[in-house]
């Protein structure tokens, strides 16, 4: 079971692991691991023996400790195992936060808007992505808890972990999640956005757009390649009307994300 969880989360066997006692102990462990955290080491922590009541009260609750709410990533029901992010970096939040603004600008220009969401409970675990959206109205026989669009972002994440995240959203939702995007930032400042799709029992990247930072950080000449285009119907579960459009990432959009991220990267010690 332990190895299955590590594989599902795309985490190394060296990921710190603790027996859960209470919220106060969890906060202390997070603070301790945050001090130990160094570039290249695991930025995640695992807690075992977290019963359902503790999960509901200490993590899946608006009145819970703010640090624990932000750190929560996944909770496995059968093994009572919790996955937390040790550090929620400005780089991580900025990448998906800037994309959120770009995407929101698009859907607000349509005849109806998309609704943002949060964590979702599947059959095996609860999981919190970077951000999600769903239409305001759903077709009959569709489970309303599943969003149509999911974004998972990572700073120095392995591609394996982001691919495993994509697999969860597609398979647990029985592909009710229509659009799965990952945003990956490397230590050199390369930012890659990928759109994933199901192929057989696995997932594959079907669209990719990336920006490579010029070695001269003062230069405005950066290499942007690839493209991301999302059909309107995959987001809204209906055909376009009148002047409604598909979502298309422009080079200017990609540069906006990159410049926001690079600003925080340049402040790292």
250's tokens? 């422009």
In this predicted model, what pLDDT tens digit does every residue of 46-59 receive, in sequence order? Answer: 999 999 999 999 99
Answer whether residue 256 shows pLDDT above 70.
Answer: yes
Average pLDDT over residues 210-233: 91
Q: Which residues pair with 176 in a beta bridge?
A: none
In this predicted model, what pLDDT tens digit does every residue of 2-26 receive, in sequence order? Answer: 677 888 787 888 889 999 999 999 9
Cα atoms in the Cβ-side hemisphere of radius 13 Å centred on 39: 8
As a whole number of angstroms, the distance between CA 44 and CA 125 comes to: 17
Contacts with 111 (C-beta within 8 Å, 6 or more apart), sequence order: 241, 242, 244
Question: What pLDDT is attached to residue 190?
Answer: 94
Kind and range of the H or E element at 9? Answer: helix 2-9
Instruction: Select from 25, 40, 10 the least CA-distant residue to 186.
Output: 40
CA distances to 21, 27, 159, 176 from 125, in Å? 20, 22, 21, 17
Kind and range of the H or E element at 224? Answer: strand 223-227
pLDDT band at 269 (very low <50, low <70, confident <90, very high): low
Question: What pLDDT is attached to residue 39?
Answer: 47
Kind and range of the H or E element at 55? Answer: helix 52-58
Question: What pLDDT is attached to residue 40?
Answer: 46
3-class SS of residue 233:
helix
Residue 73's CB: how many other CB atoms inside 10 A?
20
Kind and range of the H or E element at 161? Answer: helix 159-172
Question: What pLDDT is attached to residue 79?
Answer: 94
Question: What pLDDT is attached to residue 266?
Answer: 81
pLDDT band at 224 (very low <50, low <70, confident <90, very high): very high
Q: What share of the chain is helix, strand, coil (3-state, %, to 5)?
A: 30, 30, 40
109's tokens? 């220009």
As a whole number of angstroms, the distance between CA 237 and CA 255 comes to: 30
In this predicted model, what pLDDT tens digit does every residue of 164-207 receive, in sequence order? Answer: 899 999 999 999 999 999 999 988 899 999 999 998 888 999 99
Answer whether residue 71 shows pLDDT above 80.
Answer: yes
| Rg (alpha carbons) of the chain, rounded to whole number | 19
**Whether 186 contacts 179, CB under 8 Å:** no
Q: What is the mean pLDDT of the chain?
A: 89
11's tokens? 């985490």
Answer whether residue 81 shows pLDDT above 70.
Answer: yes
Answer whether residue 159 shows pLDDT above 50.
Answer: yes
Query: Rounded to the nearest 10 degrees, what angle do helices 159-172 and 2-9 cross at?
Result: 100
Answer whether residue 67 shows pLDDT above 90.
Answer: no
212's tokens? 């490579």
Average pLDDT over residues 131-153: 91
Question: What pLDDT is attached to residue 264?
Answer: 82
Residue with tokens 């996944």: 74
């Amino acid at each position: 079971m332990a190895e299955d969880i590590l594989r599902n989360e795309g985490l190394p066997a060296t990921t710190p692991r603790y027996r859960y006692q209470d919220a106060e102990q969890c906060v202390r462990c997070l603070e301790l691991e945050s001090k130990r955290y160094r570039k290249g080491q695991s930025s995640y922590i695992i807690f075992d023996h977290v019963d359902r009541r503790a999960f509901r009260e200490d993590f899946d609750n608006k009145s819970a400790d703010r640090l624990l709410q932000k750190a929560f990533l996944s909770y496995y029901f059968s093994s009572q195992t919790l996955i937390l992010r040790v550090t929620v970096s400005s780089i991580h939040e900025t990448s998906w936060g800037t994309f959120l603004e770009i995407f929101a600008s698009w859907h607000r220009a349509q005849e109806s808007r998309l609704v943002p969401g949060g964590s979702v409970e599947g059959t095996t675990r609860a999981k919190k992505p970077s951000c999600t959206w769903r239409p305001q109205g759903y077709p009959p026989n569709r489970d309303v808890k599943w969003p149509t669009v999911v974004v998972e972002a990572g700073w120095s994440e392995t591609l394996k972990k982001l691919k495993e995240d994509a697999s969860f959203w597609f398979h647990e939702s029985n592909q009710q999640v229509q659009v799965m995007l990952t945003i990956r930032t490397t230590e050199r400042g390369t930012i890659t956005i990928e759109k994933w799709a199901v192929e057989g029992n696995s997932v594959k990247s079907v669209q990719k757009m990336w920006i490579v930072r010029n070695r001269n950080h003062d230069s405005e000449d950066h290499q942007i390649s690839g493209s991301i285009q999302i059909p309107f119907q995959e987001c809204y579960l209906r055909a376009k009307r009148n002047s409604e459009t598909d979502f298309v990432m422009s080079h200017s959009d990609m540069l906006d994300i990159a410049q926001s991220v690079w600003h925080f990267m340049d402040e790292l010690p």
